[in-house]
Structure 1
Amino acid sequence: MNREVVVIGAGLAGAEAAYQLAKNGIKVKLYEMRPKVSTEAHKSDKFAELVCSNSLGGDHLGNASGLMKEELRRMGSLLIEIADQTKVPAGQALAVDREGFSQIITDRLHSMENIEIINEELKEIPKDTVVLVASGPLTSEALSKNIAEMLDQEYLYFYDAAAPIVTLESIDKDKVYFQSRYGKGDGEYINCPMTKEEYEAFYEALITAERAPMKKFEEEKLFEGCMPVERIAQRGIKTLLFGPLKPKGLTNPKTDRWDYAVVQLRQDDKDGKLYNLVGFQTNLKWGEQKRVFSMIPGLENAEFIRYGVMHRNTFIDSTKLLTPALNLKSNDNIYFAGQITGGEGYVCAIATGLMAATNIIRKFDGKEPIVLDDRSSIGAIIKYITEEKKNFQPMGPNFGIIKSLDERIRDKKEKYNKISKIALDYLEEKLNQEK
């Protein structure tokens, strides 16, 4: 078999896969339609652009996303390596300089001799070669139609949203304070405190603000992990106080006590000039975002360099279509990776990209695919997206789908750390067996 692979999409999954394939001597034709054809969410022509948050989630072993990152480090993930290089202060999370992260990945792939980058929209899946479809949840209309026809199935979908970004210099420093929740960090977050009266006025403005219109023929299916802040608010006046505006663990240095509500901002770039509003994914019209979010203490004169947007994410019913090796049951030369599989979030996209590439390499070498079981975080998410179920919904890394312990441990921290140790020991043993 000709050792060549067509990779469709240079997002997180496609970029990771292209690197792994090329590093192992396989010729890659990497198709990326941007900048010729853009999407409703992308802002640049760089690879692996982070369109929503700049955070890749928790980065400690008491967190399932943190476990998945550590598994990826041990498997030689390029994108996690670059995320570590470009990280910005974010407490116990791994957040990155959004621009720097994408630029380094773009430069690295451009420099690899086994990768041919083709900036064109690929409208049909090639039939005469091995293909990895990593076109993401914002797959172009033409390619979406071709995939649907090939699979003889309609796409599933949900709506995702991004949060606004403001400049540091436009924030009123006299009204905010730097602090990490419960002191877990070096005070990286900017905290905008609210009194009860300020919160209630903000809440009323938020729930009555005008939202951008949805397409009339579509039902609004929202993913809980990226629920627009205005929709969270509509569930009740105190709902935000247990969500993105929760004051717990933040002691205002001016009053030496917790505030009624707190809006947190997280550094978005390496230089610390840009900050995003944590948990403020939104579908409000841009003028309404400026009006309502400027009511937040400290943001009265904030300069918004990017407003929040909401977009439709499409994904295939992977549970009926894919094998645990991430290729189609109906065609073992066509693989899928990234959010188009229903694995939710940045880290899942990287993980499925790496695993699909690993199994394509093994296919060329005449070896059986590597299938990790649910003792590992990566194995658990792939099992979730490839094990048939009636009502398939996107899911990211979590301890609920990782194999349970044989013993009962009440302390959550102790329990999750033990699950993580088992996962990493298992992964090391599995990788040593496959050498």
Structure 2
Amino acid sequence: MLKERINFLIDKKGMTRKELVSGLITLPHFSNILTGRYILAEDLAASFAKKLDVSTDYLLKAEDVSNHILKGTDEIVNQMIAFSDIDETYVATLPRESDALVFELASKLMTACFYQSMNDQDNYSDLHMDYLNFYLKEFPDREIRQLPAPLKKAFYFYKMQVLRSKAEYEAANTYCQQLLPLLTENLEAWIAVKKIEIEILLTLKRFELAKKQLNEALRQIQLKNFKSHLPSLYILQSNYYFYLGLYEEALVSLSKAEENLLYLDHAHIGDYQVMIFNNRIVMLIKTKQLMEAKKESERFNDFLQQQTQIEKTFFTLILLYQADIALLGKQFDQLSSLIQTLEHAPRTDDQTYALHFYKSQLALEQKNYEFAQEQAESCIDYFEHNPIVERLVALYEVLGICAEQKRQYKKSSDMYKKIVQLLKES
């Protein structure tokens, strides 16, 4: 690891290897030091350190993999993977530098994962530009396999999370499978990654394997009495049933998740309750239990009113549920009123695209074909990249009908072909 650190420092200084060793040793001698054939002498390290503006120990101890270094690194990596008591304050306490590259690099990789989870793009980008991009090139996969276990875990977790964010689930699952065997000594971290594995398998529609991994995770939780993980696993179980179209079973699993919220500490109950409300309303709408969905959205609204520091866009989410209910119930006057309210509500980008969708549906009902087409075209790309089958079918239908009105029969035919293909795939 001395080689990678010196390469990094040379790169940061804008130097060449020749400039670094000038007047000290020959380039071949330097190459032998970097490949481990020769030991870096202390006086030579001091000379290099002076040119690179770092401490002598920053070079001499770069390859330190002593027990206390590995133990400290492992504790940070496990805690960050499990996301246990992690916030900005904790991340700020991690050292910006460490003489041991194992500790420093693992900390930076896990910090990047934290920034990604918080959607902190500025700090995420800065960390990559200033530090990580260089080391990611220095350590390709074939070299990561030879690294000490804590750093290997940090690399695998980082790569898995990056690939998940890019929706490259097959590749993400590969790193997940490499990571899990390294976590058997820390059940909290193992469970955290196991949940990610199940989510990936559900997304890839590998339902039998997802069920097997879900049962394994539930078995471990019961065995070790880690009941605080039951709500999240029952939510995953609910998602599994929902994917299979077993909606009643999915709703039962959500009820189990809600029943087990008592095992969570108070700080996390609200987040899970929001998730449960959201999933239950979606399922009730999906199964066209519109009266029940309306009651649940009212319960959700009452719950949010009692909370402090709630994002305003959560209330917008409830309006969108109500718009779904109105549309499915063909209550177009209600839908029109909700659209007017949504126009002035704070919205995320996702919610804005949903608003365009509802506008297209209302305009079609009103036979305002120009506006219906305009609104459908403004959100079709989004829903094609974030597919919700029901919405895509409705949008293709809008575009097909609007094309017919303009006697654009080929375009209309293309839209209906897309509907047939979409329904076949789903």
The structure that is helix-richer by fraction is 2
Q: Give the TM bin, normalised by the shorter chain.
A: under 0.3
Larger of the two Rg values belongs to structure: 2
**Bigger relative CO (Cα 8 Å, ≥ 6 apart):** 1
